[in-house]
Chains A and B, each alone.
Chain A
C-alpha cells in the first residue's frame, strides 16, 4: 500500500499545480460576467407602454410600409425589395440594414420596442452618438404616425412576429445571418457580409465578388472604427459563455466598443452559438462519441494489464 501513498502524493502535487495554473490563474486574469438571461430588464421602464398593449398585425403592416421602414429595410417575405444592394447600403449607412422578414422571431420584443423608438439606446451605443459629436445613429427613430405611439409600435412588432417563421424553424445559419453576418465574416464556413459565398462560374465573377466584399469592408471599417473580427474560431478561442454574455452587452467586456448590443432572444443566442461551434469545432459530436469508446477500451485494457501483472508476479513475491 506504500505505492498508493506515493501515488497520492504525486497526484496531489500534480492537481495543485493544475489548479493554480488553470482555474485559479484564469479566474484572476479574466473578468467574470454573469448572464442576464437575455431579459433586457434595463429596458423595462422605457418600454412599459408598448409592452402593455396588444398589437394589431394588419395595422402594423401599414405602419411598416408607410412609416418609412421600407425606405431602408427590405421585407422579402412580403415581396418588398431592398432600396439598394448591400454594398451601396453599407456605403450609405456604414452597414447593410437587415431584412425584416424574421426580425420578429430572432430579436426580443422588448428590445425591438426600444429599438424602434430609440435605436442608439436599445443598441447600447449612445456613447458613440453623443449629441456633441454631431453624429447620428443611421437608423432614424420612429416618432409616431399621429396616434398613440406605444400602440403603433406594438402593432409593428405584432406584424413582424406574424410574418416571421416559427421559432422552431429558425436554423442556426438564419439566426447568425440576421444578427451577426452583416458585420462579421466566418471564413471557415465561407460566410461573408452578404451570407454564404456562392459558387463561381469564372475567375472574373469571383474577383468581382471579392471587390464587392472589400468595398463593403471599407464602409464597415469607417463606420465601426476598425474591422470587426472574423468569428471562425470564436467558439474555441473565447467560450460559449463569453459569446452569450458578449452578445447581451458588449460593453461588459470592451468598454466603449462600437459593437452594438445584439438584442436577440435566448433561443436565437443558442442558435448563433451553435453556428459558431459548427465553424470552430465541427467534429465535436464525433469526438465525444469516439472518446467514450476509447475510455471504455482503456479501462478494459488497464484491468487486463493489472491481471497479467498479478499473474507474472505471483512467482516473484
Chain B
C-alpha cells in the first residue's frame, strides 16, 4: 500500500491520491509536439470544442424536445424557437455546429492525406478517425430525423430503403430498422435514442481511443521528419527552447490551438447568428407528410458526395459503388504503397492524385445537390466512375514512387 502523509496543501492532498502533477505532465507540459507544424494541426482541438458545443446545446434542446410524431415538429419549431428563452440559440448552435463539424472533419482528413499522417505506425489514428467520421455521420443522420419535417421523413425513407440492398430485396431488414412499414413513431423513438445516447457514447469512447492512438507514434509534422522525441525533449527541458525541435503541448502548442480556435469562433458565431439557413434546410421546415414527396430531395451537404456515387448508377451497381465509397477510405494506409511520409507536393504522381481526388469530391458534392438531369447527371456519372478508378489506381501509382 502506498504511503500517505499529512497533506500540506489541497494540491498535495490531491497529488497523493490522484497524482495530478504526473497527469498534468503526461497530458500537458511533457506531452511533446513537433514545432514544425501549421494551423491545420489545430483542427482536432476545434473538433473537440465543436463536440463540446454540440453536447451543451444538445442538453438544452433535449429538455424541451418531444420525440413524438405528433408533437416533435411543434416542439422544435415553436416551443424551442419561440417559447424557450434562448431556445433558438441552442438550436442554431446545434445545427450550425453539426454542419461545421463536417467541414472541419474534411479539412482534418485531407490534411492527414496530404501529409501522409496515416503511415508508419499511425494507422490506428487513421482508423479511429474514420470510425469517428462514421459515428458522426450516423449522429448527424439520426439528429436530422428528430424535427420530423419533410426532409427528415423522406431522408429516413430513402436511407433506410438502402438496406433492402437492391435486388436482394431485404425488405424485412428495412422494416426491422424502421420498426414499421414506413418511418413512424417507433422509427422516431429509436433514432432519438441513437442520437442522444448510443452514438454520443460511442463518439466519446472513440475520441479517447483516437487520442490514445496518438501517444506512441506522436503527431506527424509538415515534412514527415522522424524526430527523436526523447533527445529533443531533454534539450528543451535543459533550457534550449529555441534549438529543440519539440515543444510542450501546454502551454506552447495549446496557445496556438486557442489562437486558431479564437479566429474560428468569429467565423462560427457569424454563421450561428447571421447565416444559419444553410444548416436549417427550408424544406425541413414543412411538417412531415407521408403522402407528398418534396420537389427536390437531397441530403445535407456533407453526405452529397457519397449520395452522388449511389445515384447515377442502376440500383445494384449504385449500392456496390456506394458501399465501396464508404469503406475505401479505411483502407488508405494499405492502398498507399509508398514508404514516403512526406507532403503530397513532394510525392510525384500522388500529388496529382490528391488534388484530383479533392476536386472530384467537390464536383460529386455539387452534382449530388443539383437536380438529376443533364448535364449534371452525366458529370455526376463521370465523377463517380473517376472516384472509383482513382482509388483502384492508388496502389499502382504509389508502388513505384521514388524515395523522397
Closest chain B residue, CB of each to CB of A11? B267
* Contact across chains for A20 and B285 when beta carbons are under 8 A apart: no
* Contact across chains for B251 and A291 when beta carbons are under 8 A apart: no
* Contact across chains for B38 and A6 when beta carbons are under 8 A apart: yes
**Which chain A residues lie closer than 8 Å to B268 at the CB level?**
298
Residue among A290, A292, A304, A305 with max Cβ neighbours from chain B (10 Å): A305
* Contact across chains for B88 and A283 when beta carbons are under 8 A apart: yes
Which B82-110 residues have a C-beta within 8 angstroms of A? 82, 88-89, 92, 103, 107
Evaluate whether A13 and B362 lie within 8 angstroms (CB atoms) in the complex, with A233-B286, A237-B282, A294-B273 already known.
yes
Evaluate whether A14 and B103 lie within 8 angstroms (CB atoms) in the complex, with A237-B286, A291-B272, A309-B259 already known.
yes
Q: How distant is A144 from chain B, measured CB to nearest CB, in Å? A: 46
User: In the bound complex, what is the Cα–Cα distance between A13 and B354 (angstroms)?
Assistant: 14
Evaluate whether A315 and B262 lie within 8 angstroms (CB atoms) in the complex, with A14-B103, A21-B369, A283-B88 already known.
no
**Which chain A residues lie closer than 8 Å to B242 at the CB level?**
315-317
Per-residue contact bits, chain A 1-43, to B (CB 8 Å; 1 contact, 0 not): 0110011001001101110111011001100000000000000
* Contact across chains for B365 and A21 when beta carbons are under 8 A apart: yes
Which A278-306 residues have a C-beta within 8 angstroms of B? 280-283, 286-288, 290-292, 294-295, 298-299, 301-306
* Contact across chains for B252 and A313 when beta carbons are under 8 A apart: yes
* Contact across chains for B258 and A305 when beta carbons are under 8 A apart: yes
User: In the bound complex, what is the Cα–Cα distance between A306 and B261 (angstroms)?
Assistant: 10
* Contact across chains for B365 and A309 when beta carbons are under 8 A apart: no
User: In the bound complex, what is the Cα–Cα distance between A313 and B40 (angstroms)?
Assistant: 17
Closest chain B residue, CB of each to CB of A14? B103
Evaluate whether A299 and B285 lie within 8 angstroms (CB atoms) in the complex, with A188-B82, A315-B241 already known.
no
With beta carbons under 8 angstroms apart, the residue of B107, B251, B262, B304 that contacts A21 is B304
**Which chain A residues lie closer than 8 Å to B92 at the CB level?**
287
Interface of B is mostly: helix
Evaluate whether A17 and B366 lie within 8 angstroms (CB atoms) in the complex, with A295-B273, A302-B263, A316-B247 already known.
yes
Which range contains the number of B residues in contact with the other chain?
A: 35 or more
A208 within 8 A of B: no
**Which chain B residues lie closer than 8 Å to A305 at the CB level?**
255, 258-259, 261-263
**Which chain A residues lie closer than 8 Å to B295 at the CB level?**
29
Per-residue contact bits, chain B 242-262, to A (CB 8 Å; 1 contact, 0 not): 100001000110011011011
A201 within 8 A of B: no
User: In the bound complex, what is the Cα–Cα distance between A256 and B272 (angstroms)?
Assistant: 39
A312 within 8 A of B: yes
Per-residue contact bits, chain A 122-154, to B (CB 8 Å; 1 contact, 0 not): 000000000000000000000000000000000
A209 within 8 A of B: no
Q: How distant is A299 from chain B, measured CB to nearest CB, in Å? A: 6
**Which chain B residues lie closer than 8 Å to A309 at the CB level?**
255-256, 258-259
User: In the bound complex, what is the Cα–Cα distance between A29 and B82 (angstroms)?
Assistant: 30
With beta carbons under 8 angstroms apart, the residue of A3, A13, A24, A299 that contacts B366 is A24
**Which chain B residues lie closer than 8 Å to A74 at the CB level?**
none
* Contact across chains for A28 and B370 when beta carbons are under 8 A apart: yes
Residues in A lying within 8 Å of B, measured CB to CB: 2-3, 6-7, 10, 13-14, 16-18, 20-22, 24-25, 28-29, 187-188, 232-233, 236-239, 280-283, 286-288, 290-292, 294-295, 298-299, 301-306, 308-309, 312-313, 315-317
Residues in B lying within 8 Å of A, measured CB to CB: 35, 38-40, 74, 77-78, 81-82, 88-89, 92, 103, 107, 241-242, 247, 251-252, 255-256, 258-259, 261-263, 265-266, 268-270, 272-274, 278, 280, 282-283, 285-286, 295-296, 301, 304, 358, 362, 365-366, 369-371
Q: List 28 A-B contacts (CB under 8 A).
A: A10-B40, A14-B103, A17-B362, A20-B362, A20-B366, A24-B366, A25-B366, A25-B369, A25-B370, A188-B77, A232-B78, A233-B77, A236-B280, A236-B282, A237-B285, A237-B286, A287-B88, A287-B273, A290-B89, A295-B266, A298-B262, A298-B269, A306-B262, A309-B255, A309-B256, A312-B251, A313-B255, A316-B35
